[in-house]
Amino acid sequence: MINILAIESSCDETSAAICRDGKILSNFIANQTVHERYGGVVPELASRAHMQNIVPVVDSALKEAEASINDIDAIAFTQAPGLIGSLLVGGEFAKSLALALNKPLIAVHHMQAHVLANLIDDPKPSFPFLCLTVSGGHTQIVLCESPTTMKVIGETIDDAAGEAFDKSAKLLGLPYPGGPLIDKYAQQGDPHRFKFPEPKIEGLGFSFSGLKTSILYFLKNAGKSNLFKEEFTATEEEKAAFIKENLADICASIQDRIVTILLNKLKKAAIENNITDICLAGGVAANSGLRKALQDMGTKNGWNTFIPAFQYCTDNAGMIAITGYYKFLAGEFSDLSVQSTARAEW
Ligand code: KG4
Ligand code: ZN
Percent of the chain predicted with pLDDT > 70: 100
In the predicted model, is pLDDT for residue 297 greater than 80? yes
Q: What pLDDT, on a 0 to 100 scale, did the predictor assign at position 33?
A: 83
Whole-angstrom distance, CA of residue 327 vs CA of residue 149: 11
User: Does residue 39 surpass a pLDDT of 90?
Assistant: no
**pLDDT value for 177:** 87
Give the Å distances, CA to CA, from 251 to 32, 113, 233, 240, 296. Answer: 28, 31, 21, 15, 21
**For 173-216, what is each residue's pLDDT tens digit?**
998 889 999 999 999 999 999 999 999 999 999 999 999 999 99
Task: Decide: 110 and 317 in contact? Cβ < 8 Å.
Answer: no
C-alpha 215 – ligand 1 centre gap (Å): 20
pLDDT of residue 240: 96
Percentage of residues in the chain having pLDDT higher than 90: 91
For the segment 252-272, the average pLDDT, to the nearest whole number, is: 98
Q: Which ligand is nearest to the CA of 259?
A: 1
Q: Compute the C-alpha angle 49/55/61, nearest 5°.
A: 110
How much distance in Å is there from the Cα of 135 to the middle of ligand 2? Answer: 6
In this predicted structure, the answer to whether residue 264 has a pLDDT above a threshold of 90 is yes
Best of 166, 284, 292, 294 for a ligand 1 pocket test (most atoms within 8 Å of beta carbon):
284
Is the beta carbon of 315 within 6 A of some atom in ligand 1?
A: yes
**191 in contact with ligand 1, CB cutoff 6 A:** no
289 lines ligand 1 (CB under 6 A): no
Rounded to an integer, the average pLDDT of 150-155 is 98
Q: Using the mean position of ligand 2's atoms as its centre, give its distance from the Cα of residue 219 in Å.
A: 31
| Chain segment 62-85, per-residue pLDDT in tens | 999 999 999 999 999 999 999 999
Measured in Å, residue 133 CA sits from the centre of ligand 2 at 9
Annotate 135-161 with b (16+ C-beta within 10 A) or e (fewer).
bbbbbbbbbbeebeebebbbbbebbbb
Q: pLDDT at residue 36 above 80?
A: no
230 pLDDT exceeds 80? no
Average pLDDT over residues 213-226: 93
The mean predicted confidence, pLDDT, of the chain is 96
Mean pLDDT of 147-159: 97
- Measured CA to CA, the distance from residue 316 to residue 16 in angstroms comes to 8
Instruction: Assess whether the C-beta atom of 208 lies below 6 angstroms from ligand 1.
Output: no
**CA-136 nearest atom, ligand 1:** 6
Cα–Cα distance for residue pair 36/327, rounded to 1 Å: 36
Q: Average of pLDDT values for 227-250?
A: 91
Q: What is the pLDDT of residue 32?
A: 85
Cα of 316 from ligand 2 centre, angstroms: 8
Which are the contacts of 320, defined by CB distance < 8 A and separation ≥ 6?
6, 7, 8, 15, 17, 76, 77, 78, 108, 110, 113
- What pTM value is reported for the model? 0.95
pLDDT tens digits along 117-149: 999 999 999 999 999 999 999 999 999 999 999
What's the sign of the alpha-carbon dihedral 319, 323, 329, 334? negative
Ligand nearest to the CA of 113: 2
| Each residue's pLDDT tens digit, 86-123 | 999 999 999 999 999 999 999 999 999 999 999 999 99
